Structure 1
Amino acid sequence: MSRPTILLLGTCDTKLNELLYTRNQLESQANAILLDLGRASSTDPKIDIKQSDIIKQPSLNISKLARAEYIDRLIPPATDIVRELYEGQKIHGAIGIGGSCGTALATGVMRNALPVGFPKLMVSTMASGDVSPYVEETDITMMYSVVDIAGTNRILNRILCNAAAAICGMALAYFAAGSGYSSEKEGKKRVGVTMFGVTTPGVDKIREYLEQNHGYEVYVFHATGAGGKAMERLVNEGQLDAVLDLTTSEIADEICGGVLTAGPKRLEAAARAGIPQVISVGACDMINFGPSETIPAQYKERLIHHHNPTVTLVRTSPEECEQIATFIAQKLRASSTTDLIRIIFPTGGISMLDMPGLSFHDPEADSVLFSTLEKHLEGSGIPILRDDREINDPGFAVSIAKALVELIEKAN
C-alpha cells in the first residue's frame, strides 16, 4: 500500500539527532525526506537533500555569513526545491523543528513554497509568543517545544512524537483526498468576499444569495489585515475565481497608521490575475486602534467610537478619504482586464456606523471618497455606480452580488 511522503526541515548542523528522532517517528506511518537548512554543511548520509544541494554554489560558504544574511540567502533556493517537490506531488505534508533561526528558515520556505491547504507544522521554541512573523496569513500549525530543542529527553521526545503523529494524520488525509482538494465540489466557482463587523449583515446576504442562487463556494475574509493578505494569497495561488471586495477598510489603516493594515500591496492580486472583481468602500469610514489609550496623539480630538475594550475606531477625515480613493484607483488602473471590474458605492452609508443619526455619519467625507475615485478612474473603462442604499441593506447586497455574477458569466 502506498504511503504519503512528509518533508522534514531543520538545521542538521545543530539539530541532527532531534531531526533523526523525528524522522524515525514519521516513518512508522509515512515516508520521509530530510532537507538540511543548516548554516554549516553536513555530509551525514541520512540527509536526503543536503545544504550543498540547495546552494549549488561551491564558492559560497554561507557558514561565514552573518546569521540574518545566511537565512536570507538560503530561503529562496530552498523554496525552489520544495516548490518543485510539491508541484511534482512528491510530498504530502511538511514539518519543521527548530529554535528562532530554524523556525524563521522552515516557516519561510513553507510560506513561499506551499499553498494554503497543504499540511504544514512547525515545532518551535518560539511558538508560545507572537507567531505572526512565522505564520503570516498562511495555515502553518505551530507547536511549542516546551523545552529547548537541544538534545533528546523524555519531554522533548514526547512532543516530537506528538508532532510526528499530527503531521502524519494531516498528510494521510491530504494524500487520501488525492493530494489536495481539486476534486472537492468540482466545478463550483470560488468567490472571496471581505467582511468586517460593521458590514456583516450585508456580507451574510451576499453569501446567501451566491450560494443559494448560483451554487458558488464563498470564502469570507475578516478584514483585519491578515484577512486581506490571505485573500490576496489565495488569488495568487489560483484558489479564487472572483472577488467581491465589499470591505476595503484595511486600506484606511495602511494610509492612516491603523493596526489592521494588510500592507501596501492590497488590491494587487486580483488586478494582476485578471479575475472578475466588484469593489466597494465598506468600513473606509474608520481607522482601527487598540484600547483607547493607544490612539496616537493626532487622533485624540477626532470622532471616536469605542467598539469594545480592545478596539477603538477613529473616523476618517475628508483628506484621508481622498488618499484612500487615490490608493484604490492606482491599484485598479494597473489591471489588464478593467472590463472585469465594477465599483459600486452605497451612498446611504458605508458602514453600520455611517448612517444618519449614528456616530460616524459624515456625508462630506463620504462624498470626497466617492468623487475622488470617480475622478481618478475617469477614462479607465471601469464602470462606477452610485446606489443610494446603505451597505447592509439587503437589496444593496443582492444588487452587488448580481453585479459579480454578471462579470463571472462574462469572463466565461
Structure 2
Amino acid sequence: MAAKPKIVVAGILDTKGNEIKYLAERVAAAGGEPTILELSVGREVGWADISIGEVIAETGHTKEQVFSLDRGKAADIIIEGAIKVVRKLYNTGKLDGIIAFGGSMGTSIATRAMQSLPVGVPKFMLTTMASGDVSPYVGTKDICLMYPIAEAGLNKVTRRILNNAAAAIVGMAQAPELGEAADKPLIGCMMFGVTTPCVLRAAKYFEDRGYDVIINHAVGSGGRSMEELIRDGFIVGMLDITTHEIGDYLLGGVLSAGPDRLTAAGERGIPQVIAPGGLDLINFGPKDTVPEKFLKETHLPGRGLYIHNPTVTCVGVSAEEAYLIGEHIAGKLNAAKGPTVLCVPMRGWGACDLPAPNKDLGWAGPGPGPVWAADPEKPEWSLRAGRFVEALRQNIDKNKENLEVLIVDKHLNEPEFADLMAELLEEMLNGKWQKGSHTDLPYVTSL
C-alpha cells in the first residue's frame, strides 16, 4: 500500500483553531497524514503538532517576546520561522503538500511560507482574500487559492468547503508521476500578444526537437516567475523574445517585472537569445489611467496611443526612451556569464510596430501600426530601433567572447527572425555557437 501523503495544515489557531482541526480531520479522511502547524500571533494554543513556540524559536526569539509586539511586527518574525520550518519539513521528506485557512493575517503568513517551497509542491490557500488582489499572496509560485465564503465557523456550508479543500490537497499530493515527460529539457520563453507569431514558431522549433517549452505571459508576474524558474534550475536555455516588462519598469508602465528582469540567466550562465519584443509599447490600464504627460505627446513620432481593449491601453515608446532601454539592457548583458546574443529586428518589434497592415505579422490595419515611426535615413527601419542600437553600440562590451549583438533586417514576427533566434539557441545548447554565427545571412550583421 502506498504511503499516505504528508500534508501540513497551517493557520492561526488562537482564532481559527476549530476550523483548522476540522480541516486536518478531513485531510486524514481523504487519505492524507496531517501535521498541524501553528501560526498564531496572539497566544499559543498548546495542541498543535508544531507549536508557535517552535516556529518562533527558529528565529532566535521567544514566544513571549513576539506576543508582546504589535501584530504586524509579530507576523514578520512568524513568517521567518514558518519559512524555516516548512523548508525543513520538505527537505526531510515530511511535507508532500501544504494547506492553510485564514483571513488577511493568516493568508499573509501562510502564503509567504508556501512561496518558499519549490514549484510543483502542492500549495492550497483557503482565504477570504481570494476575491481581491491576490498578487502578494501568490507571488511567483503555483499557489492555489479558494474562496471559503465565510471567515470563521463550522456549519453545513463551511464543512463542505473545508472537506473539498482537504480532498483537493490530498489529491494533488497523490498525483501520478509524469514519467518521461518530466525529463525533457526545458526552454524558457516570454510572450505577449504582439509577439505571438514569433514565439509560437520558435517554440515549435524546439518542441519538434524533443524539448519542452514553457511560455510565460510577460505581464510582470510572468517575468518574475521566469527569473525564479531559471534560478531554481528548471531552465536549460532562454528564448527571451518578449522583454517589454523592462520598458514598463523603466518608464512607469503597469506590467513591470522589477529590476531583476534579464538577470538570472546571465548569473547562472545558461544560454540566452534575446529580442526587444514588445519594447515598442508602454502598458497601462483603462485609457483614463494613462499619465497625462503621455497623452499630451501622442502627436510625436512613435508615441501613438493604442486601446487594446477597455482595460488595456498602450502608449508608444519614444526613440529617446528606446535609447535608455538600450543602456539598461546593455548593462544586464555585459554581466552575463554564459553565451548571450541579442537579436535586434530593425523593421519593428511587435504587431503594433509596422509601417503597413500585415495580418501575418499581427496588424490588420487600417494604416500603419499605431506606434510605428520610420527612421528618416532608412524609412524601412524603425526610428526607435535605430536609437536602441546606438545605445548598444556605445555600451555593450564588444570584447566579451560570450556576448554578441546582431542587427537583423527583419520584423520580429517574420518567420526568418524566429528561426534565427531558435537556431542560435540550439547552437549554444549543443556547444557549437561562436561569435559571428549566422552573419553569413544577407539580413544579419554583427554590431
> TM-score, normalised on structure 1?
0.93
Partner of 1:354: 353
Kindly tell me: are residues 161 and 186 of structure 1, through their superposed partners in 2, closer, same or farther at Cα, counting changes over 3 Å?
A: closer
Task: Output the amino acid matched with 2:172.
Answer: M
Partner of 1:308: 309
Query: After superposition, where does 1:27-42 map in structure 2 within 5 Å?
Result: 27-28=28-29, 29-42=31-44
1:197 CA drift (Å): 0.7
Alpha-carbon distance in 2 for matches of 1:9, 1:329: 45
* Residues 320-329 or 57-66, more deviating: 57-66
Partner of 1:139: 142
Kindly tell me: are residues 59 and 208 of structure 1, through their superposed partners in 2, closer, same or farther at Cα, counting changes over 3 Å?
A: closer
Choose the corresponding residue for 1:156, options 158, 167, 187: 158
Choose the corresponding residue for 2:396, options 353, 360, 377: 377
Does the Cα contact within 8 Å between 2:128 and 2:148 map onto a contact in 1?
A: yes
Choose the corresponding residue for 1:234, options 229, 233, 243: 229
Choose the corresponding residue for 1:62, options 60, 66, 74: 66
* Residues 386-395 or 360-369, more deviating: 360-369
* Residues 55-64 or 288-297, more deviating: 55-64
Which secondary structure does the structure 1 equivalent of 2:386 belong to? Answer: helix
Partner of 1:293: 288
Does the Cα contact within 8 Å between 1:347 and 1:389 map onto a contact in 2?
A: yes
Query: After superposition, where does 1:176-195 map in structure 2 within 5 Å?
Result: 176-177=176-177, 183-185=179-181, 187-195=183-191
Superimposed CA distance per residue, residues 304-354 of structure 1 (whole angstroms, 9 cap, x where no aligned partner): 11222221110101221122112212222333x14x111111112111222
Superimposed CA distance per residue, residues 258-303 of structure 1 (whole angstroms, 9 cap, x where no aligned partner): 1111111111221222211111101101001112122110000322
Does the Cα contact within 8 Å between 2:111 and 2:138 map onto a contact in 1?
A: yes
Does the Cα contact within 8 Å between 1:276 and 1:411 map onto a contact in 2?
A: no
Structure 1 gap ranges (5+) = none
Which secondary structure does the structure 1 equivalent of 2:8 belong to? Answer: strand
Alpha-carbon distance in 1 for matches of 2:350, 2:248: 15
Partner of 2:207: 211
1:403 CA drift (Å): 0.4
Superimposed CA distance per residue, residues 127-180 of structure 1 (whole angstroms, 9 cap, x where no aligned partner): 12221221122221111121122x32222112111111111111111xx42xxx
Alpha-carbon distance in 2 for matches of 1:379, 1:275: 19
* Percent identity of equivalent pairs: 40
* Residues 373-382 or 61-70, more deviating: 373-382
> TM-score, normalised on structure 2?
0.86
Partner of 1:395: 416
Alpha-carbon distance in 1 for matches of 2:131, 2:310: 24
Does the Cα contact within 8 Å between 2:53 and 2:62 map onto a contact in 1?
A: no
Superimposed CA distance per residue, residues 194-244 of structure 1 (whole angstroms, 9 cap, x where no aligned partner): 1111110011110111111x2110111111111111211211221111111
Choose the corresponding residue for 1:123, options 101, 112, 126: 126
Superimposed CA distance per residue, residues 355-386 of structure 1 (whole angstroms, 9 cap, x where no aligned partner): 22322222222211122123211245111111
Query: After superposition, where does 1:227-376 map in structure 2 within 5 Å?
Result: 227-301=222-296, 302=298, 303-335=304-336, 337-338=337-338, 340-357=339-356, 358=368, 359-362=370-373, 363-376=382-395
Does the Cα contact within 8 Å between 2:13 and 2:45 map onto a contact in 1?
A: no
* Residues 395-404 or 346-355, more deviating: 346-355
Partner of 1:167: 169
Alpha-carbon distance in 2 for matches of 1:186, 1:134: 27
Task: Output the amino acid matched with 1:390.
Answer: H
Partner of 1:13: 14
Structure 2 gap ranges (5+) = 299-303, 357-367, 374-381, 434-447
Which secondary structure does the structure 1 equivalent of 2:130 belong to? Answer: coil
Does the Cα contact within 8 Å between 2:273 and 2:421 map onto a contact in 1?
A: yes
Which secondary structure does the structure 1 equivalent of 2:242 belong to? Answer: coil
Alpha-carbon distance in 2 for matches of 1:156, 1:186: 37
Does the Cα contact within 8 Å between 2:123 and 2:144 map onto a contact in 1?
A: yes
Alpha-carbon distance in 1 for matches of 2:183, 2:149: 45
* Residues 380-389 or 98-107, more deviating: 380-389
1:40 CA drift (Å): 3.3
Alpha-carbon distance in 1 for matches of 2:128, 2:41: 18
Alpha-carbon distance in 1 for matches of 2:334, 2:56: 39
Which secondary structure does the structure 2 equivalent of 1:410 belong to? Answer: coil
